[in-house]
Amino acid sequence: MLENIMAFNNWLNSVVWGPPFMILLVGTGLYLTFRLGFFQFLHLGHAWNQSFGRLFSRSKVEEGGAITSFQAVASAMAATIGVGNIAGVSTAIALGGPGAVFWMWLTALVGMATKFGEATLGLKYRVIDEETGEVSGGVMFYIERGLGPRWKWLAVTYGLLAGLAAFGIGCMVQANTAAHAMETGFNVPTWVTGVVIVLLVGMVILGGIKRIAHTAQAIVPFMCIVYVLGALIIIVLNIDRLGWAFGQIFYHAFNPVSATGGFAGAGVAAAIRYGIARGIFSNEAGLGASSIVHAQARNTPVRQGMWAIWETFIDTLVVCTMTALVVILSGALETGTTGAELVSTAFNDSLPGPGGYIVLFGLLFFSYSTMLTWGFYGEKSWEYIFGHRIIVPYRILFLCFLFVGAIGGLVAIWDIADTLNGLMAIPNLIALIALAGVLAKEKNAYLRKQS
């Protein structure tokens, strides 16, 4: 039975992540980049001043919402900065060669425009309950309210797929990676880690978005700084080979890499396929899920979109790049390992002693924070379809799947998560293209006020 399911998933995955979808995914980011006048590049400094820059300013933007803008982006980054930045990046390099990193960068550069659009539209079309103050927003709402009621079927489709995808990308994959990290690092049985994960996640997600946001804003900045600093130390120790490492990335983005040591080699098609797929898995630009939490922010649409630009920048162009450079510089690619084990080997070889622990605790904290936000994404997606009564059952089901993921098989879980990611992106990409004119008007109106 399982073999038949995986065979079907492999076929569906090849269709979902085939050339047409890759073109749609990257093409949407390119289209929005042109339609918005290269906003994410030309106004990058302004975007910083209106987002992270405001953390150090007394000037605050307070609009109706449940959480602060920083809590919203911290929660969104909790979902994006997860095992995809560690295991996902190393898997892309192991299967697609160093050139896969170039294609990850490409998805991030155009994905900054995509994420800007998702956050802006998510907040613009959100709904706030006048009696309870509860905020609901995201792809489902900007499809129905932006495109019109006759498109509700597409909104429902997205909500259903997003709720299912949460069990993969933000649930089982994260729990599986954390459980195997504990088993490898401390000989802790996977079922024990599974039980602990269920308890720790349950304590937070049962408290709703405010508890998730407070937890995320404490964990995410701390772990990002620790992980990036560890990687930077390794890069500095190998600074004489840094130019060579970037050369490998650019050269093999367009040229096959031959087999060496335990590395089986990879063609250009593999570099593109795994670079884009794992890039999307990491920064989630095009999936639309982060719009659900950005819609919760006390901010205006365009300003919240600026936070989303930096969300993608930090996730892929900073954190993922750090992982990639350490793997390439260390020579660990030739060991033939993949996933988190490859990154752990790279850090251990380059920084004996603390290196392995940086990866281990990075995996644990990143995966934990990702589970929290994706639990919220999933419940809000299904709440749109089934109403408020689905929230408690969904949370319980999510916790059950966390345990299943902890004791499950890694390859099967990653493959299914890849498929679900692709499927849920399609309705969102359609909506972003259709609402590009609305985004352009919002952006232009904002810039006129600033001039």
> Looking at residue 331, what is its pLDDT?
85
How deeply is 201 buried, as exposed, middle or buried, from its count of CB atoms within 10 A (0-12, 13-18, 19+)? buried
CB 333 within 8 A of CB 343: no
Domain count, the chain: 1
| Domain that residue 278 falls in | 2-450
Q: Please, which contacts does 46-50 make with residues 24 or more away whose CB atoms are closer than 8 Å?
A: 46/306, 46/450, 47/306, 47/309, 47/310, 48/310, 50/303, 50/306
Q: What CATH number did the domain enclosing 175 receive?
A: 1.20.1740.10
* List of the chain residues with pLDDT < 70: 1-2, 56-63, 258-266, 409-414
φ, ψ dihedrals at 298, nearest 5°? -90, 85
> Looking at residue 444, what is its pLDDT?
95
> Looking at residue 314, what is its pLDDT?
92
pLDDT one-digit tens code per residue, 380-423: 999 999 999 999 999 999 999 999 889 875 556 667 777 877 88
Name residue 445's amino acid: A
> Looking at residue 306, what is its pLDDT?
94
Neighbour-count burial for 234-272, b at 16+ CB within 10 Å, e otherwise: bbeebeebeeebbebbeebbeeebeeeeebeebebebbb
409 DSSP 8-state letter: -
pTM above 0.75, yes or no: yes
> Looking at residue 8, what is its pLDDT?
79
CB 329 within 8 A of CB 241: yes
Q: Cα(356)–Cα(221) distance, rounded to whole angstroms? A: 20
Which helix (H) or strand (E) is 150 found in, with range? Answer: none
> Looking at residue 409, what is its pLDDT?
57
